[in-house]
Amino acid sequence: MDTFHATVLNLHQPLGNLEELLDTKEWEAREILYALDRIPDALAGNEDIARVHLALSGTLLETLSNPTFQSRVYGIIKCGDLLWKLRSPSIDILGTGYYHPVLPLIPPADREEHLARWFGIASHLFDRYQFNGFWPPEMGFSMEMIPLLKRLGFRYVLVDSERVEAATPMSWDELRYRPHLATYDGEDIVVVVRDRELSNSQESGMDAAWFIHEVGERTKHCDFPTLVTTCSDGDNGGWFRNTDWSSNYWGAFYLPLLERVREKTTGLSPIFIHDYLDRYGTYGEVVVHSGAWNTGEHDGTGFVQWTGSQAQKDALQMVSEVSESIHNQRWKQGQLGWPDAEVGRLLEEAMWHLLRAETSCNFYWGEQWVPRCYQELDEALGCLQAAQEKADG
């Protein structure tokens, strides 16, 4: 039977991180920028067979489209050219959260704010108003997100293989290598399962021959068209940042893989997930347990990477409290018909600071970046207080 491979790369840099690295660790910033610029260049000339899904956070898109940043890195990469080349027919852009938050850990009302704001910048930069797939930042997913994703028009969501449990009887192969449906509160969405072990290899390094053999072994008992999905970061680690083409992901793995595909010696074909769904649909129903993908130290269960310390838990509790205050004030002003434009501006600024506080990076590094969360929350509270005073006075 046919075997298809879906490649997914997550691209995210926290707001201001590239600018800070240019000041303090210029070569690291250059490596990241080269890694981003390398993607469409690697696919050029292979548009007939290359298929890569990219999830770019709103902060990364904001940085790359900022004229001041573009001027600063001119001579390293041309950001405008990069954004244009990302419209390649070999690339499918996935929806995601603006500030790359672990969505199940933040208030539900803020989830929609992140997604709507990502839509705003992505639709502008890519001249598109529909995105088939959704990439949950850090693959942080819970079933209660399904109605929101459906309402925003997403066809499918990517989840980690360790989080998925069959509701319809099916084999291990069927569970991992076929898309399924997951239902919550009367709404269903297609679930596409990431193969964790193969994704670990994609992240750390592999060659085309090994990958072809491994996929063949994993799918040899499948009597259906298989969808093997590998997901990893695409701009972190030496495998992706290495400037030597012979030693990085594209030169050492992906382009040799495409050569084998063109020679018809692989037994597999790259594919966009939406094309697979159009041809073969879904199979059965599953339950997706709440959790994230595996990080360097944790397997994603319980979101321990982001909630393991009391300081992380306290910051997330503060996020929830500030969020409730901002949303309550916005609701109140909305009921009044937004009578004061300055109050509206201050509340919008408060919301932006709140969303920045929720970025996953503020919690990922243990307690190291937690102060950044509090800094944004302080800014949000300052704007909220000014809005309340203006409304009352």
- What are the boundaries of each domain within the chain? 3-288, 308-392
- Give phi and psi for 154, each to the nearest 5: -75, 140
- Average pLDDT, stretch 364-383? 95
d(CA 165, CA 168) in angstroms, rounded, equals 9
Average pLDDT, the chain: 96
Span 168-193, pLDDT tens digits: 999 999 999 999 999 999 999 999 99
Instruction: Work out the pLDDT band at 366, boundaries 50, 70, 90.
Output: confident
Report the amino acid identity of residue 257.
L
Residues 6+ apart with CB under 8 A from 317: none
Burial (CB count within 10 angstroms: exposed 0-12, middle 13-18, buried 19+), residue 317: exposed
Span 121-152, pLDDT tens digits: 999 999 998 999 999 999 999 999 999 999 99
Torsion angle of the four alpha carbons 302, 308, 311, 317, in this order, in degrees rounded to the nearest 10: 10
- Average pLDDT, stretch 22-44? 97
Of 162, 201, 194, nearest to 302 (Cα)? Answer: 162
Predicted confidence (pLDDT) at residue 1 exceeds the cutoff of 80: no
Residues 6+ apart with CB under 8 A from 31: 241, 243
3-class secondary-structure state, position 59 = helix
* pLDDT attached to residue 294: 93
Of 57, 42, 55, nearest to 88 (Cα)? Answer: 42
Span 221-235, pLDDT tens digits: 999 999 999 999 999
CA distances from 174 to 11, 34, 169, 214 (A): 29, 38, 9, 17
d(CA 14, CA 52) in angstroms, rounded, equals 23
Span 68-92, pLDDT tens digits: 999 999 999 999 999 999 999 999 9
* pLDDT attached to residue 393: 77
Q: Are 14 and 361 in contact (CB under 8 A)?
A: yes
Instruction: Work out the pLDDT band at 320, boundaries 50, 70, 90.
Output: very high
- Tokens encoding 177: 């290598």
3-class secondary-structure state, position 227 = strand
Q: Are 306 and 100 in contact (CB under 8 A)?
A: no
Say if strands 286-288 and 164-166 run parallel, antiparallel, or are unpaired: antiparallel
- Give phi and psi for 169, each to the nearest 5: -55, 130
Instruction: Work out the pLDDT band at 305, boundaries 50, 70, 90.
Output: very high
Region of residue 8 (phi > 0: left; psi between -120 and 50: alpha; otherwise: beta): beta
Span 238-288, pLDDT tens digits: 999 999 999 999 999 999 999 999 999 998 999 999 999 999 999 999 999
Tell which CATH architecture fits domain 3-288.
Answer: Alpha-Beta Barrel (3.20)
Report the amino acid identity of residue 308.
G
CA distances from 244 to 29, 34, 208, 325, 359 (A): 16, 11, 17, 50, 32
Burial (CB count within 10 angstroms: exposed 0-12, middle 13-18, buried 19+), residue 242: buried
* pLDDT attached to residue 151: 96
